[in-house]
Structures are given as C-alpha cells and as structure tokens.
Structure 1
C-alpha cells in the first residue's frame, strides 16, 4: 500500500497524516507540503500515481487530500480503478477493496455524473434562451470584417496584428477571414503560420 499526504501551507505539519498512513499499513508515503488541493501541480502525488501498479492500494487520511472537487476526485478514482489500483480513505471509510467500499465509490461517482448532467442541461437551456434572443452580439461589425479582410489581403498583416487592432481574440479574426479563404492555409489546417 502506498500513502499520500498533503498540507496546504508550509506551516502545517504532515506528522499526523504520516502516523495514520503507517498504522494503516502503508510501506511508502508520498507527501506534498504547501500545495493546494485545488491545483493539480502536486509533484509527489504525480510521482505516487506513477509508482502505483495493478493490485496496489492508494491510501489517504481524508478525501480532500487528493482534491477539492467531487468531479476531480471521481476522475482520479476512476483512473485508478481502470489501472487495477484500489483506494482507501481512512476518515470517510471508503475502501474499494471491499464490496461496501465499491458501493460507496459508485454512489459518489453517480452524484458526480448527475452534477455533470445538470451542468450540461443548464448550459443547453442558457444557449437556447440566448439563441432565442438573437444570441450574443458579434464582436466585429460588418465594416470591421471588411477592414480586417483588407488588412490581411492588401497589407499582408498577420492575424495577430489584426486581432490586436480590433481588440479581439485571434480566433475571432480567423473565423471572419475563413469565409473568404484569407486566414491562411496553415490556420485552416489547424496550425499557425504567423
């Protein structure tokens, strides 16, 4: 069993987590100090995940040591499961080496999936309302598109320079220029040329 411990600030102590993980039977404990659970930049967690082999068990003292969002936790646990790695969280009593632990994990995964579906539904509903109201107003007015085309075709300006001039994102200019084939072959192919 491999353990993972994390504290958010360098002032916090990992000792309590180490003790619990060793008592749970972990023979190796990876730890990140001063790393937030909201960020995925946790070098020791990444090292621990690479070290896990099929049949191993990853143990944490609490679920929030791995991450802050249900979605992030579920994705990580599903990834471990696909690799044949078991998981235990000592505080929450989740242990995917047991039938009841797998049930608990599936309940959490189902809640996360329901959350994703609700977000999708709200997004679709919002898009439908926006479309019914005519959608978002275009960032470039028709005369701006004409000018952008002139700058690209006659003055051979880069897409970036044109975007900067109109204070829009490069992709807005590319979309406007693509209709007449002026964005450039590399942009159409999905690679940048200028």
Structure 2
C-alpha cells in the first residue's frame, strides 16, 4: 500500500517515482483527490496509469475506492459530474464576458498609453528619431509597450 505525501499537491517527480514503484495489488491512498492531480483530466490519466499497473486508487475525503466495481462506477460518475460542472462554469463565464462586452465593458488591464500618447510615441520615434528605450523612460512604460504603440 502506497501513500502520497501530505502536501498541497504531489510534485511531478514524486508522482513519477510513486508510479514507477507501483506493483500489482498496491493501493494509492490520498486524503483528497486534488492532492494527486491539478485537473480532472490529470486525475483520470493518473488513475488510469494506476489501474494499468494493477493497483487501486482510494480517496478518503470523497470515499472513492477503485479496487471495487462499485468504487470504479462512483469514481467515473464523480468525474463526469465534475467535468459537467467545469464546463458549465466555463460556459457561464463566456456568457458573462459577452454580456459585459455588449454593455461596453472591456475586461483586462487598462492600456498603459492613451490614444494621444500613442500618437506622440510614434511622432517622437519617426520625426525626432528618438530610441525606443528613451521614449519608454519618458512615458514610464516598458519598451515593449512603446513598440506595440
């Protein structure tokens, strides 16, 4: 029986080491499934690797035990519900952003330079032959911002 370390998430190297040491009949036990994987996709892939090695998976908090047929069913139902919920959250987020755009609200960080400042940046570069670095210092922005302008 192998236990994952009780950390916020198992590191990839520790996970690889554990998976390499799995033998037929071993059971990987975690306190919560999110201790083992960053996403549902990762969890499904890891549990499938564990299964292919002849081992089982148990999550104590969610009472999931893939060593039994009923446990495998519960795991897949649980995974399907989690996937559905993730897709719904994603859908609602996209709808909310589209609705905000229709109302004239644009998300993200405000532009570092106004339209007038961008015009001035171009004028200084083209007419005064100033360097990008010099213009960036004058406007207190990055050189990349100046180049984008």
Q: TM-score range by the shorter chain?
A: 0.5 to 0.7
Show the counterpart of 2:116.
Answer: 143
Contact 1:151 1:162 in 2 (8 A): no
Number of residue pairs the alignment of both structures matches: 137
**Quick one: distance in 2 between partners of 1:48 and 1:120?**
31
**Quick one: distance in 2 between partners of 1:79 and 1:160?**
50
State the shift of 1:165 in Å: 1.6
The equivalent position to 2:132 in structure 1, one of 157, 182, 188, is: 157
Q: Indicate the RMSD between aligned Cα atoms, in angstroms.
A: 3.8
Instruction: Report SS of the residue matched to 1:48.
Output: helix
Show the counterpart of 1:22.
Answer: none
Contact 2:136 2:143 in 1 (8 A): no
Contact 2:40 2:79 in 1 (8 A): yes
Does structure 1 residue 62 correspond to structure 2 residue 28?
no
- Which segment drifts farther, 73-82 or 151-160? 151-160
Show the counterpart of 1:133.
Answer: 103
Mark the CA change 1:155 to 1:173 in structure 2 (over 3 Å): closer, same or farther. closer
TM-score w.r.t. the length of structure 1 is 0.52
TM-score w.r.t. the length of structure 2 is 0.64
State the shift of 1:50 in Å: 0.8
- Which segment drifts farther, 71-80 or 120-129? 71-80
| Higher normalized helix content (fraction of residues) | 2
Show the counterpart of 1:96.
Answer: 66
Show the counterpart of 1:3.
Answer: 3
Deviations 1:114-155 (A, max 9, x none): 221122122211221122122328624211221233455532
State the shift of 1:163 in Å: 10
The equivalent position to 1:111 in structure 2, one of 81, 88, 97, is: 81
Does structure 1 residue 77 correspond to structure 2 residue 46?
no
Mark the CA change 1:120 to 1:89 in structure 2 (over 3 Å): closer, same or farther. closer
**Quick one: distance in 1 between partners of 2:64 and 2:58?**
5
Q: Gaps (5+ residues) in structure 1?
A: 7-34, 178-194
